[in-house]
Structure 1
Amino acid sequence: MAYVDHAFSISDEDIMMGDSSHAIQNRPPVKEIAFAVSLLVFGSLAIVVGSVMAANRVGGDRAHGVFFAVLGSVLFLPGFYYTRIAYYAYKGYKGFSFDNIPSV
Structure 2
Amino acid sequence: MAYVDHAFSITDEDDLVGGAIGGPRGAPVKEIAFAAALLAFGVLGVVAGLFMAANQVGGDTAHGIFFMVLGIVMFIPGFYYTRIAYYAYKGYKGFSFSNIPPI
Amino acid at match of 1:61: D
Match of 2:87 in 1: 88
Match of 1:58 in 2: 57
Unpaired runs of at least 5, structure 2: 14-20
The 1:29–1:7 alpha-carbon spacing in structure 2 relative to 1, beyond 3 Å, is same
Whole-Å separation in 1 of the counterparts to 2:42 and 2:62 = 18
Give TM-score scaled by structure 1 length.
Answer: 0.80
Which stretch shifts more, 59-68 or 82-91?
A: 59-68
Displacement of 1:58: 1.8
Identity %: 61
Whole-Å separation in 2 of the counterparts to 1:89 and 1:27 = 11
Which stretch shifts more, 51-60 or 91-100?
A: 51-60
Which consecutive aligned stretches of 4+ in structure 1 deviate over 2 angstroms post-superposition? 9-12, 22-26
Please give the root-mean-square deviation of Cα atoms over the aligned residues, in Å. 2.2
The 1:67–1:98 alpha-carbon spacing in structure 2 relative to 1, beyond 3 Å, is same
Displacement of 1:43: 0.5
Match of 1:30 in 2: 29
Total equivalences in the alignment: 94
Displacement of 1:11: 7.0
- When Rg is computed on C-alpha atoms for both structures, the one with the higher figure is 1
Whole-Å separation in 2 of the counterparts to 1:11 and 1:103 = 22
Unpaired runs of at least 5, structure 1: 17-21
Whole-Å separation in 1 of the counterparts to 2:60 and 2:48 = 15
Deviations 1:1-55 (A, max 9, x none): xxx961225476xx59xxxxx5422410000000000000000001000000000
Displacement of 1:59: 3.4
SS at match of 1:93: coil
Amino acid at match of 1:39: L
